[in-house]
Amino acid sequence: MQQYLVVYRRSTGKLLELVELGYDSHAALIKRSAVEQARRGDPDVEVVLLSAPSREALVRTHSRYFRDSRGLAADLTTTLEKLSA
């Protein structure tokens, strides 16, 4: 599967980087480690390495990284309404 590096700011729900790293999972892990080291001073930044057959599949299965804070808030509101019903 294709490897994707995601750099995400938690507080704003903003995707900072999305890098397609190809199919070499070992090289992808090395890249993720380097980015984590570079970003380690900012606890609000999440660095994630994900695998998916395509970018479209990645967006579908990990949608929180591709939604802005309003979209995430709307999802949370909908979930809370369902739980309280």
pTM: 0.78
How far apart CA 12 and CA 80 sit, in angstroms, is 20
Which has the closest alpha carbon to 64: 10, 3, 1? 10
Structure tokens at 69: 């804070």
Convert the pLDDT of each residue in 26-52 to its tens digit: 999 999 999 999 999 999 999 999 999
Is residue 20 within 8 A of residue 55, CB to CB? The reply is yes
Q: Quick check: helix, strand or coil at residue 31?
A: helix
pLDDT over 70 at 69, yes or no: no
Considering the chain, what percentage of its residues have pLDDT values greater than 90?
Answer: 67
